[in-house]
């Protein structure tokens, strides 16, 4: 069966890493056009050496490409503001847009949680790296017991944060917080990102803190099992994703009331804490850039699934 052609807008770290994943890992997708705005970018230079069509004219260059009609999927690895303009330019052409920015024009997608629900969407949002790493855990706990509050802290190497990430810090926290509730199932969500300047650079680490009603031993075992199963599921497409230690349970009292919506307050809770680590696959980026690796891995999995779903409808 012929592969589906894709274009990538954004020739920076994320877009270039995604290009290598499409070429090396996908059985159903193939590179069509690599799109950038800087003619001197390393991503465009690498694509050219690999025989891939490139343009430094942004989305206008993609629209002018002789391959454009054959492109079915467009990954956008630019910035939130640029994605809004790219979406407006591409929407009339019926392409499937996979948005790796925090723009969130389309619905949030976390592959192990809600990918099947978005098969009819034409623009899907990959939330953020912190969201891709932590929302599966919130959802796993939420599938066992109601989650009243969830807070995530994503700590990434400063060297792995490019200009797009740095320009979109506010959007990162807002988008991730919203997705913790909408996808993860928490009544209230909060997200924090830390750019760690340590040398040598540290790999991505994430802390997930979840507040539930007071849990007995059976419920704790069920939550721990659900988290372990979810980690294994994510590791199926992000091999460097893993638990750092056993799930932690701490009983708490009314000191947590102010974190919760008023209708969820009981004064008797269990705090569930999960520590995660994400090492990158080092196809283009260093191992410490697990934050970017989990985004490109999730985007690839999402595109492959949605393309297959579209073809199944047409068959």
Residue-wise pLDDT for 203-233, tens only, equals: 999 999 999 999 999 999 999 999 999 999 9
pTM exceeds 0.85 for this model: yes
- Those residues whose C-beta lies under 8 Å from the C-beta of residue 216, and which sit 6 or more positions away, are none
Q: Is the pLDDT of residue 162 over 80?
A: no
Same domain flag for 241 and 169: yes
Between CA 78 and CA 81 the distance in angstroms is 8
Same domain flag for 20 and 166: no
- Those residues whose C-beta lies under 8 Å from the C-beta of residue 208, and which sit 6 or more positions away, are 134, 137, 138, 150, 151, 152, 272, 273, 274, 275, 276
Between CA 127 and CA 129 the distance in angstroms is 7
Contact predicate 146/261, CB 8 Å:
no
Same domain flag for 138 and 268: yes
Whether a cis peptide bond, with omega within 30° of 0, leads into 131 is: no
Question: Catalytic residue at 129?
Answer: yes
Same domain flag for 135 and 89: no
CATH number of the domain encompassing residue 203: 3.30.360.10
Mean predicted confidence (pLDDT) in 286-297:
95
Q: Which of 191, 100, 120, 182 is closest to 150 using CA atoms?
A: 191
Structure tokens at 85: 């303009």
- Those residues whose C-beta lies under 8 Å from the C-beta of residue 201, and which sit 6 or more positions away, are 157, 158, 159, 160, 286, 288
Parent domain of 226: 129-289
Contact predicate 34/62, CB 8 Å:
no
Same domain flag for 283 and 157: yes
Same domain flag for 33 and 153: no
Q: How would residue 178 be classed by pLDDT, with cut points 50, 70 and 90? A: very high
Same domain flag for 201 and 98: no
- Those residues whose C-beta lies under 8 Å from the C-beta of residue 72, and which sit 6 or more positions away, are 4, 5, 6, 95, 96, 307
DSSP letters spanning 143-166: TTS--SEEEEEEEEEGGG--HHHH
Same domain flag for 107 and 143: no
Structure tokens at 89: 């330019």
Mean predicted confidence (pLDDT) in 170-191:
95
Contact predicate 121/95, CB 8 Å:
no
Residue 172: predicted pLDDT: 86
Same domain flag for 148 and 238: yes
Catalytic site residue from 14, 129, 281, 299: 129
SS3 category, 115: helix
Give the tens place of pLDDT for each residue, 109-159: 999 999 999 999 999 999 999 999 999 999 999 999 999 999 999 999 999
Q: Is the pLDDT of residue 165 over 90?
A: no
Residue 170: predicted pLDDT: 86
Contact predicate 118/306, CB 8 Å:
yes
CATH number of the domain encompassing residue 121: 3.40.50.720
Mean predicted confidence (pLDDT) in 263-276:
97
Same domain flag for 266 and 139: yes
Same domain flag for 143 and 228: yes
Residue 298: predicted pLDDT: 98
Give the tens place of pLDDT for each residue, 58-101: 999 999 999 999 999 999 999 989 999 999 999 999 999 999 99
Mean predicted confidence (pLDDT) in 185-198:
96
Between CA 278 and CA 242 the distance in angstroms is 7
* DSSP annotation of 214: P
SS3 category, 212: strand
Same domain flag for 91 and 203: no
Mean pLDDT score of the chain: 96
Number of domains the chain is built from: 2
Mean predicted confidence (pLDDT) in 253-281:
97
Residue 12: predicted pLDDT: 92
């Amino acid at each position: 069966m012929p592969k589906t052609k894709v274009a990538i807008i954004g020739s920076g770290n994320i877009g270039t890493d995604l290009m290598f994943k499409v070429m090396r890992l996908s059985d159903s997708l193939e590179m069509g056009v690599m799109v950038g705005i800087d003619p001197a970018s390393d991503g465009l230079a690498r694509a050219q050496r690999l025989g891939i069509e490139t343009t430094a004219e942004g989305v206008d260059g993609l629209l002018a490409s002789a391959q454009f009609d054959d492109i079915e999927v467009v990954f956008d690895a630019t910035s939130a503001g640029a994605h809004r303009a790219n979406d407006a330019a591409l929407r009339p052409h019926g392409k499937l847009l996979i948005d790796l920015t925090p723009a969130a024009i389309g619905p949030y997608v976390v592959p192990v949680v809600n990918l099947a629900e978005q098969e009819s969407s034409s623009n899907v949002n990959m939330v953020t790296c912190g969201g891709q790493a932590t929302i599966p855990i919130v959802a796993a706990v939420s599938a066992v017991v109601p989650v009243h509050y969830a807070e995530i802290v994503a700590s990434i190497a400063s060297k792995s944060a490019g200009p797009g990430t740095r320009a979109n810090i506010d959007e990162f926290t807002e988008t991730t917080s919203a997705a913790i509730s909408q996808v993860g199932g928490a009544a209230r969500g909060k997200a924090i990102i830390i750019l760690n300047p340590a040398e040598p650079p540290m790999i991505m680490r994430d802390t997930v803190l979840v507040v539930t009603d007071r849990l007995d031993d059976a419920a704790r075992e069920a939550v721990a099992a659900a988290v372990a199963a979810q980690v294994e599921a994510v590791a199926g497409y992000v091999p460097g994703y893993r638990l750092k230690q056993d799930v932690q349970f701490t009983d708490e009292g009314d000191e947590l009331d102010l974190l919760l919506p008023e209708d969820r307050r009981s004064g008797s809770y269990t705090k569930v804490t999960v520590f995660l680590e994400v090492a990158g696959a080092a196809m283009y980026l260093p191992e410490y850039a697990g934050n970017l690796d989990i985004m490109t891995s999730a985007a690839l999995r999402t595109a492959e699934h949605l393309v297959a779903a579209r073809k199944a409808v047409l068959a």
